[in-house]
Chains A and B, each alone.
Chain A
Amino acid sequence: MNKYYKKDVLNLALLAGELMLKNGGETYRVEEVMLRICSTCGIDKADTFVTPTSIMLMFDDGHDPGYTYSLQRTIKARDLNLSKVSEINNFSRLFSPDKMSVEVAMEYLNNIDKGNPYKSITRIAFAGISAAAFTLASGGQPNDTICSLIIGMIMYFFITSYALIEKNDFIRTLIASIIAAVLALLCSFLGLCSDIQFILIGAIYILLPGIAITNAIRDAISGDLLSGLVRAFEALIIAGSIAIGVGVILNIYEIITGGVL
């Protein structure tokens, strides 16, 4: 086992960790995956430091200073793609250097990163359907449901296209909730719906920071207090930006029309 091989293995582990963290894996799972890949390849002394914004992977091999590696990746943008998390998790369990060389494994991970289980048109359609279903469940009439279906799709279309240029969750959610509020008011202005309340409730459900909340709790349980706090803060910011976006638009509407909603 030469030093190049070790460096390749560390790079593979780092790539797996980076992809998992980017796509919404919990911190402890990222650490587990990285260390598992290292130890199946015979590197036992590696250690990691993972927060939601960066990964460090360190390895000290005996006395020779040339054999000390320390790799780091900063993660600026986080996307939410649970199937990639699940695939990389399964990969780390099945991977062994006897069956698959490190280069092939790198290629495999890059292919996981490229693939998506659903086309973006499917996701947009289901965002609309989801919003409509929640509108119906919270007591909306059939015409509210149809409005909500269309607004959810438009909103999610904006989110997917805007995600390509702007990776900031806060601004994206803020603008998406502003769009939802404006379109809901437009629907009520045109007389298409009975109450904008149900439409907005349905549309809000797609924007909710479910992953941030769940991961915050699970990180805190497993002892990653730092990550737990960071993710809880992220969830708070996203929830706040939904409230601000909807609140500002409704307030402006009230000022313009002079009526109370």
Chain B
Amino acid sequence: MITVIKFIAIFIGTLGYAIVYNVPKKQLFFVGLTGCAGYMVFSLLPFHEVLGCFLGACVVAALAEVFSRTRKDAATLFIIPGIIPLVPGAKLYSMVLSLMNHDYLTAANLGVLVLGYAGSIAMAILLVSSTVRSVIAYKKAK
């Protein structure tokens, strides 16, 4: 039950972020879906968070490419709000807090983890988008 509430909250949160950055009304539902699907995949792997984040971001980027074809709009429209739930806000906050409390060991640990999250999101988008790009280029060449 708690998990369901969490997923609904993620859906609404992604939707809100999309509205704040003026995503067109007709795409809103699909934007929320993208963010929610990415977070679901992320929460399937609770013991290996960075890998989970990578796979979640892969799902977000892949869904964004699918929706950009079927809904006829730019893929970034779906990626930008979609990756927001994967960003480690809580870890970033704890890192700042431990830096303040002169607990530099914890801060370094959390900092590396945050960098891992950010890098895995970036890598996932890079991988999926460039794969899609080369597939399209290959189809055009044929």
Contact = CB atoms under 8 A, between A and B. Distances in A.
A183 to B, nearest CB: 15
B22 A82 contact: yes
Given A82-B76, A213-B121, A250 B97 contact: yes
Interface string A1-31: 0000000000000000000000010100100
Interface residues on A, range: 35 or more
A80 B22 contact: yes
A205 B84 CA distance: 7
A242 B87 CA distance: 14
B41 interface: no
A36 interface: no
Contacts of A81: 21-22
Contacts of A218: 76, 125, 129
A117 B25 contact: yes
Given A26-B76, A261-B97, A123 B20 contact: yes
Interface in A110-165: 116-118, 122-123, 126-131, 133-134, 136-138, 156
Nearest to B130: A221
Given A205-B89, A221-B126, A254 B100 contact: yes
Interface residues on B, range: 35 or more
Q: Give the secondary structure class of A's interface.
A: helix
A201 interface: yes
A223 to B, nearest CB: 11
Contacts of A201: 89-90, 93
Interface string A40-70: 0000000000000000000000000000000
Given A82-B21, A117-B22, A127-B20, A136 B5 contact: yes
A89 B129 contact: no
B24 A243 contact: no
A210 B5 contact: no
Interface of A: 24, 26, 29, 80-87, 89-90, 116-118, 122-123, 126-131, 133-134, 136-138, 156, 197, 200-202, 204-206, 208, 210-211, 213-215, 217-218, 220-222, 239, 242-243, 246-247, 250-251, 254, 260-261
Across the A-B interface, the 7 shortest Cβ-Cβ residue pairs: A130-B16, A133-B13, A126-B19, A137-B9, A133-B12, A126-B16, A83-B24
5 contacts: A29-B74, A80-B21, A201-B90, A213-B83, A213-B122
